[in-house]
Amino acid sequence: MKSETKIIYHEEQNVFHLYNEEVSYIMMVLPDGELGQLYFGQRIHDKEDFSYLLELAPRPMSSCVFPEAKTFSLEQIKLELPTYGSSDYRTPAVDILQPDGSRILDLQYEGYRIERGKPKLAGLPATYTENPDEAKTLIIELHDQKAGVKAEIFYTLFAVGGLLAKSVRYRNVGQDTLRLQRAMSFCLDLPDADYDWLQLSGAWARERHVKSRPLEMGIISIGSRRGHSSHEHNPFVVLKRPSATEQQGEVMGLSLVYSGNFQIQAEVDAHHTTRILAGIHPENFCWVLEPGDDFQTPEAVMAYSTGGLNGMSQLFHGLYQKRLARGYWRDRVRPILINNWEATYFDFTEQKLLQIAGKAKECGVELFVLDDGWFGARCSDHAGLGDWTPNQQRLPEGIHGLAERIEALGMKFGLWFEPEMVNMDSDLYRTHPDWILATPGRRQSHGRFQYVLDFSRQEVVDNIYTQMAAILGDAKVSYVKWDMNRSITECYSAVLPPERQGEVFHRYILGVYDLYERLTTRFPEILFESCSSGGGRFDPGMLYYAPQAWTSDDSDAIERLKIQYGTSLCYPVSSMGSHVSVIPNHQVNRNTPLHTRANVAYFGTFGYELDLNKLSAEEIAEVKQQIRFMKEHRALLQFGTFYRLCSPFEGNETAWMVVSPDKQQAIVGWYRTLNQVNADFTRVKLCGLQPDILYKNDHGESAYGDELMNLGLITTDVTAGEIPSDKKPCTDFESRIYVLEAVDSAQQ
Ligand code: GLA
């Protein structure tokens, strides 16, 4: 049966039921005219009357809405757009300051409309449909007459999978100026609190580690006030039933398609109901809505699965790969690249770059990326940002000349930019000192000696666009790495009036999106990779413009196990920039085998971040083999169905795998952090295979899918602790790749 989204309006009860094969979302217009929610979860049958799901009880201390009734308190009701100051004391989703100083709102249901597919969000990244049957969108209109404000809540339910996108648009329809002080994108009230909360948190070079804890009465909240989504917390959380595992059980993931300040929180009240809120961080946010003005919130996406964490992740992977990422590179395997950053840092000449590129070409690398240091007076991190013209001393014939030489070697050429930044030692700053975000008369904190350009200003974005477009239009550039290496401080725009300073953070990110949109439109075949000191802006907002992101500045394979494992909860393999780097590793000084470095990097976009000229002949032979392997298997590795099998957060072994859509092929990555003596026998239970297919692997073994999934792939390492004369010693940081191929039934 064809999957389809249904949106039913039961007029008599004023009830809406959105559903597909997987989920149901039921709402009703409440007796007081607000919009309430009755159910969200696994699909249930539609029927005429769901109003009995509105639970009311007389509770002595409750504040009540109707003069004659003691049961109708908003405190007990699941609300779609809760407001400040009502009989609901939980955190509101919206807060509007009105001219009389009041913040009370009464958003009354006014009507609804249904659209096939999914409308675009002006100026903001969002998931999309290519064909109107892929989703339906319910738009519910609410109106507060006294304040003169209308709210439209957008609910898009995709036809396939439990995927729901939600956002809100506000409009000032009155005569007075309004101040929007809180405008969350998503609110969901759940009837119980029996969940574990998972978040992806960390810091620079250890981003997106999985942290979990049970929900408890009170508030759990994550967010960013740094101006970018941040290394510290990713705009993503999971609520899972305590019994749910990677492979089974009820799981909900919530992801915000936004790259700026955000907040996601869960609030458990005294009666163990849970309110989830997600959106722009309300601190220091205040948007002035003049009569006639609109404000569109970013979009939040919920993925609901009864197939455990892997089931939820696969929903996000599919959606973000196919209906968030766009353009030429969306469905294409990614070029194998070499990046000169860890090979040279700022210390390079054109000749040195060509040597690195030449050796890489010999090994089969397809794209050479020139990182930081090619422009203006950029010989260290003290100068040059903002001046996007080639440094003539280093590159006598500019980017144009270097790109031609790289192309002549038979490779593509890529280039690093940090568009949003400026050093004080730059011509741009000397000409426009007021173009940075800085509060008049206050300290100007720096990060890595650089300052943040005021991207809330059109002329600033225009200037950077003109500079970048000149380089990209003139030279053969096939790839851009777009970096962002500091957080915002003393946020203030020189051109906005005092009452609009609360808009700067959001206007800044809209400026970033605008520049991305213009560059990706003008240069549609350039592959953009986003970056923010590694993974400081690894979020769905960026994936709309750049289908891949540099996952972390930590390139050590063992550190990357945790980082890539955590990242995979929400983001697809094709989005994770992952490179083989030198040993001792530059971040943690660790020595890992060359094959383990590649075995981790295969589950990503794959590339090298070292000078291959410094490797031995034996290592070069291994690198050539790695590149051949990646070219042969990258379509499956980057676009296959990904399963996490063993978590690096739980034990000494990590494992994950990808399976082809037809289940004829699979690749398993197995990694053991420390070697053991007198070790256990070990097996890894695989997932997603066809039970009755016989698979043979490249280690000479064959087994049926059911055997591999129920009994497991045997990973026991007989060499651990003992070194057979014909084998290399097995070390710490060992790993293996297993390539599984279905044996043709005729051969069985
Ligand atoms: C950031 C990036 C690195 C590199 C440097 C260059 O830290 O994450 O990969 O590009 O900037 O300055």
* pLDDT tens readout for residues 505-519: 999 999 999 999 999
Taking residue 417's Cβ as centre, other Cβ atoms within 10 Å add up to: 23
Note the helical H segments in 59-109.
Answer: none
Question: Residue 148 and residue 267: Cα distance in Å, rounded?
Answer: 30
Taking CA atoms only, the protein residue closest to ligand 1 atom 12 is 372
CB 259 within 8 A of CB 218: no
User: Which 8-state DSSP code applies to residue 22?
Assistant: S
DSSP string, 442-488: S----BTTEEEB-TTSHHHHHHHHHHHHHHHHHS---EEEE------
Cα 151 to ligand 1 centre (Å): 42
The conformational region for residue 682 under phi > 0 = left, psi -120 to 50 = alpha, else beta, is: beta
Specify the ligand 1 atom closest to the Cα of 371. 10
CA distances from 262 to 550, 577, 672, 727 (A): 21, 24, 36, 52
Cα 485 to ligand 1 centre (Å): 7
Specify the ligand 1 atom closest to the Cα of 416. 10
Res 744: pLDDT: 78
Taking CA atoms only, the protein residue closest to ligand 1 atom 7 is 533
Q: Looking at the chain, how many residues does it have?
A: 748
Cα 197 to ligand 1 centre (Å): 32
653-747 maps to CATH 3.20.20.70: no
Cα 231 to ligand 1 centre (Å): 14
CA 495, chain centre distance (Å): 32
609 close to ligand 1 (CB < 6 Angstrom)? no
Radius of gyration of the chain (CA): 27
Closest CA to 198 of 215, 217, 213: 213
21 contacts: CB under 8 Å, gap ≥ 6 = 1, 3, 43, 160
Residues of the chain with pLDDT under 70: 1, 718-730, 745-748
Domain boundaries, the chain: 6-323, 337-631, 653-747
Question: Residue 272 and residue 366: Cα distance in Å, rounded?
Answer: 55
* pLDDT tens readout for residues 249-272: 999 999 999 999 999 999 999 999
Res 311: pLDDT: 98
CA distances from 60 to 73, 666, 702 (A): 11, 60, 68
Cα 207 to ligand 1 centre (Å): 15
417 close to ligand 1 (CB < 6 Angstrom)? no
342 close to ligand 1 (CB < 6 Angstrom)? no
550 close to ligand 1 (CB < 6 Angstrom)? yes
Pocket test for ligand 1, best of 533, 554, 587, 610 (most atoms within 8 A of CB): 533
Question: Residue 503 and residue 511: Cα distance in Å, rounded?
Answer: 12
Residue 316's SS3 state is helix
CB 547 within 8 A of CB 540: no
Pocket test for ligand 1, best of 417, 449, 485, 578 (most atoms within 8 A of CB): 485
38 contacts: CB under 8 Å, gap ≥ 6 = 15, 26, 27, 28, 50, 51, 53, 54, 78
Residue keyed to tokens 């750049």: 546
Res 678: pLDDT: 85
User: Which 8-state DSSP code applies to residue 507?
Assistant: H
Taking CA atoms only, the protein residue closest to ligand 1 atom 6 is 372
DSSP string, 207-272: EEEEEEEE--SEEEEEEE-SSS--SSEEEEEEEE-TT--SSSB-EEEEEEE-SSSEEEEEEE-TTS
| Angle in degrees, 0-180, between the axes of helices 504-522 and 458-474, rounded to the nearest 10 | 20
Which residues are known to be catalytic? 483, 553
287 contacts: CB under 8 Å, gap ≥ 6 = 179, 180, 183, 295, 502, 503, 506
Pocket test for ligand 1, best of 204, 342, 369, 371 (most atoms within 8 A of CB): 371
529 close to ligand 1 (CB < 6 Angstrom)? no
Cα 459 to ligand 1 centre (Å): 26
CB 137 within 8 A of CB 155: yes
Residue keyed to tokens 């051109």: 495
Res 720: pLDDT: 59
Specify the ligand 1 atom closest to the Cα of 381. 12
Fold observed for domain 337-631:
TIM Barrel (3.20.20)
Fold observed for domain 6-323:
Beta-galactosidase; Chain A, domain 5 (2.70.98)
Res 721: pLDDT: 57
Taking CA atoms only, the protein residue closest to ligand 1 atom 2 is 533
Cis omega (within 30 of 0) for bond into 584: yes
pTM: 0.98
CB 206 within 8 A of CB 258: no
Cα 449 to ligand 1 centre (Å): 14
Res 686: pLDDT: 98
The conformational region for residue 373 under phi > 0 = left, psi -120 to 50 = alpha, else beta, is: left
Pocket test for ligand 1, best of 341, 369, 380 (most atoms within 8 A of CB): 341
416 close to ligand 1 (CB < 6 Angstrom)? yes
Amino acid at 91: T
5 contacts: CB under 8 Å, gap ≥ 6 = 18, 19, 20, 135, 136, 157, 158, 159
Cα 567 to ligand 1 centre (Å): 19
483 close to ligand 1 (CB < 6 Angstrom)? yes
